[in-house]
Amino acid sequence: MESEILIEQIISGDQAAFNNLYHAYYGAFYKYTIKYSKHRQDAEDLVQEAFTRIYVNLHKYNYTCKLSTWMFCILRNLCIDRFRRKRNTVSLDQGREVGGNSFLEELIDYECLPDHKVEMQDTVNRVNYIVNSLPPKYRRVIMLRYYSDCSLQDIAVKLEMQINTVKIRILRGKDQIRKRYLAEAS
């Protein structure tokens, strides 16, 4: 009931009502986006864009789920879209709960100067080649996790295996990628 009143107020142009909604969810939105983007400015941009879309599309909200669920869905979709656009740089460990520091963070400067783009593309191509040459049991989980952005649970269901098996295969696959990449660099 409260959300219905709030939505009606916002749609009717009540800026204070939208400010209340913004302040109530800004922290949670920012926390969600910073976990994936790792860059403060990108996270803030995503949050602002999410609230803009929420404001513009609020009249389409159909009350089939909680307002917060609908809003987080918009934010999640924005994050997914943003990362699909940035897919030309491969990070096998960006904000994931599996593994430690990304070995690619040392190899790729994501905010590099234009003269380094050729080197970066070479690195991406080498990593892609290595991933494609992994044994199938490791390649499948790596591809699903980092190229298709599937959750660990989704991978476990798709491949009909335990979630711990998925985690182990991801760790072992990343280890093989790291070793082969470093061996080729020597």
What structural domains does the chain harbor? 2-85 (1.10.1740.10), 103-185 (1.10.10.10)
Tokens in use for 156?
């476990």
Tokens in use for 21?
């909604």
Question: How far is residue 73's CA from residue 157's CA, in Å, rounded to a whole number?
Answer: 22
Read off the pLDDT of residues 34-51 as tens digits, 9 standing for 90 and up. Answer: 877 777 888 888 889 988
Read off the pLDDT of residues 60-71 as tens digits, 9 standing for 90 and up. Answer: 877 777 888 888
Read off the pLDDT of residues 70-118 as tens digits, 9 standing for 90 and up. Answer: 888 888 888 887 777 665 455 554 444 444 444 444 444 444 455 456 6
- Exposed e or buried b per residue across 149-168, where buried means at least 16 C-beta atoms within 10 angstroms of its C-beta: ebebeebbeebeeeeeebbe
Distances (CA, A) of 57 to 11, 20, 26, 50, 118: 10, 17, 18, 10, 41
> What DSSP character marks residue 98?
S
State the maximum Cα–Cα separation within the chain, in Å, rounded to a whole number: 64
The more confident residue out of 117 and 123 is 123
Whether 175 and 93 have beta carbons less than 8 Å apart is answered as no
Q: Give residue 149's pLDDT.
A: 78
Q: Give residue 58's pLDDT.
A: 84
Mean pLDDT throughout 115-142? 81
Number of C-beta neighbours around residue 25 at 10 A:
20
Instruction: Please name the residues in contact with 47: beta carbons below 8 A apart, sequence gap of 6 or more.
Output: 26, 29, 30, 33, 75
